[in-house]
Amino acid sequence: MNRRQILAAAPALLAAPHVRAQARQKITYGYLLDPAYEAVLWAIRNGRVKSDLVDVEATGLLIPQLLQATATKQYDVIMTAVIGVPAAAARGLELRILSSALHASTVGEGGGIWVKKGSPIRSAADLKGKTLASYGLRSTGYMYAREALRREFGLNMALEGGDVRQVEVQAPNLPAALATGQTDAATLIHSQSWRAMQSGEFVNICETGKIINAAHGPLTSAINVSYPERLAARPDAFREFNRMLKASVDYALSHRDEVFGAVAKQANIDRKFFDWWFDRTTTVPAVFGEQHAKAVATAWTIGRVFNMVPTVPDVRALTWDQVLRG
Domain boundary among 193, 216, 239: 216
Same domain, 205 and 242: no
Question: pLDDT tens, 113-169?
Answer: 999 999 999 999 999 999 999 988 999 999 999 999 999 999 999 999 999 999 999
Distance of alpha carbon 136 from alpha carbon 64, whole angstroms: 9
Overall number of domains in the chain? 2
Same domain, 249 and 198: no
Same domain, 309 and 261: yes
Same domain, 125 and 89: no
CB atoms within 10 A of CB 271: 16
Same domain, 274 and 309: yes
Indicate whether 8 belongs to any domain.
Answer: no
Q: Considering the entire predicted model, what is its pTM? A: 0.89
- Classify the C-alpha dihedral 307-294-313-69 as positive or negative: positive
Domain boundary among 192, 216, 240: 216
Mean pLDDT in residue range 6-13 = 47
Beta strand 112-116 with 202-207 is antiparallel
Question: pLDDT tens, 13-64?
Answer: 444 444 445 589 999 999 999 999 999 999 999 999 999 999 999 999 988 8
Residue 39 domain boundaries: 23-104+219-318
Indicate whether 7 belongs to any domain.
Answer: no
| 112-116: strand order across its sheet | 165-168, 131-134, 185-186, 112-116, 202-207
Determine the pLDDT at residue 18. 45
Question: pLDDT tens, 216-273?
Answer: 999 999 999 999 999 999 999 999 999 999 999 999 999 999 999 999 999 999 999 9
Same domain, 135 and 179: yes
Domain boundary among 199, 216, 233: 216
Q: What distances in angstroms separate CA 63 from CA 212, 230, 285, one per listed residue?
A: 22, 23, 20
Indicate whether 210 belongs to any domain.
Answer: yes
Same domain, 252 and 188: no
Q: What's 88's domain CATH number?
A: 3.40.190.10
